[in-house]
């Protein structure tokens, strides 16, 4: 017995002996539509049911058990496909869903690399600024590079500290007094050379200079020696005082 669903026109082959004379209610497995089916319906009745389906009868007080008709499987029908497996394979092979994660991971790695590079540059710059004296001691040619960068390097290892110059009067005459310290900033013993004082005018042109020797000619690591020198009747045009080591290396 062939049944045709009035709603979706799906065709089913069922056992006609299961239908009593008054017919029974059946449900389409494909679309879920339910209708009352008479036994051994002819082809004309089937077509009529497709295009002019009768109204669904009112349910009885005690509904009869329903059966679900199975759709016949034609010999030419393709093998059944596991819908879950197909969907899963589709999601796994879909490149557009994998790209955002890869792109995000790549961007994070690039940003991390740039951050690491900035940190390395800052560490190198800080080390160069704070340990330039040690760097120049190992590589003397770097002194000129530090000087061009505005970071003069003390290649001698001796430095001046607390330098002051005072104008005062002694016995009615003007006197220029210069005081300060020479400090050994290295970790080894160093000789202290003579010191030179140069006076210059407003345009920093030298107009007078003299040399003197500190009371100590050698300093241990970190040690310092105080000095004091004076000049009576300094030039009236003197505006600037410059102090350096007499051998001209600094």
Radius of gyration of the chain (CA): 53
Helices (H), 10-94: 43-51, 83-93
Cβ-contact 199, 235 below 8 angstroms: yes
Question: Where is pLDDT greater, at 240 or 43?
Answer: 240
> pLDDT tens digits for 160-204?
999 999 999 988 899 999 999 999 988 889 999 999 999 999 998
Q: Residue written as tokens 């009593």?
A: 20
> pLDDT tens digits for 98-124?
455 556 677 888 888 888 888 888 888
Cβ-contact 5, 69 below 8 angstroms: no
Tell me the average pLDDT of the chain: 75
CA-nearest of 187, 179, 184 to 223 is 184
Q: In order of start, what are the domains of the chain with their CATH numbers?
A: 2-69 (no CATH), 109-155 (no CATH), 158-245 (2.60.40.10)
Position 56 scores a pLDDT of: 62
**69: pLDDT confidence band, cut at 50, 70 and 90?**
low
Vertex 76: Cα angle to 35 and 68 (nearest 5) = 20
CA 217, CA 22: separation in Å to the nearest integer?
A: 134
Q: What pTM does this model have?
A: 0.42
pLDDT exceeds cutoff 50 at 89: no
Greatest mean pLDDT among 36-45, 146-155, 178-187 lies in 178-187
| CA 72 distance to own-chain centroid | 63
> pLDDT tens digits for 188-244?
899 999 999 999 999 989 999 999 999 998 999 999 999 999 999 999 899 999 999
pLDDT exceeds cutoff 50 at 250: no
CA 39, CA 219: separation in Å to the nearest integer?
A: 125
């Amino acid at each position: 017995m062939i049944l045709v669903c009035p709603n979706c026109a799906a065709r089913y082959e069922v056992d006609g002996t299961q239908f009593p004379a008054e017919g029974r209610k059946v449900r389409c497995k494909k679309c879920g539509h339910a209708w009352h089916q008479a036994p051994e319906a002819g082809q004309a009745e089937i077509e009529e049911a497709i295009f002019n389906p009768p109204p669904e009868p009112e349910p009885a007080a005690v509904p009869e058990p329903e059966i679900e008709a199975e759709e016949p499987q034609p010999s030419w029908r393709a093998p059944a496909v596991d819908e879950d497996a197909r969907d899963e394979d589709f999601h796994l092979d879909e490149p557009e869903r994998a790209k955002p994660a890869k792109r995000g991971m790549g961007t994070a790695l690039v940003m991390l690399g740039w951050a690491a590079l900035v940190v390395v540059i800052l560490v190198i710059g800080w080390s160069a600024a704070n340990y330039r004296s040690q760097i120049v001691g190992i590589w003397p040619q770097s002194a000129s590079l530090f000087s061009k960068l505005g970071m003069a390097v003390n290649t001698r290892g001796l430095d001046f500290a607390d330098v002051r110059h005072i104008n005062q009067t002694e016995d009615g005459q003007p006197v220029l007094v210069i005081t300060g310290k020479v400090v050994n900033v290295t970790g080894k013993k160093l000789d202290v050379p003579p010191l030179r004082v140069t006076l210059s005018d407003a345009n920093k042109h030298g107009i007078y200079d003299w040399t003197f020797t500190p009371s100590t000619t050698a300093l241990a690591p970190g040690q310092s020696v105080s000095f004091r020198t004076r000049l009576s009747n300094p030039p009236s045009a003197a505006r600037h005082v410059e102090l350096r080591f007499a051998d001209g290396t600094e």
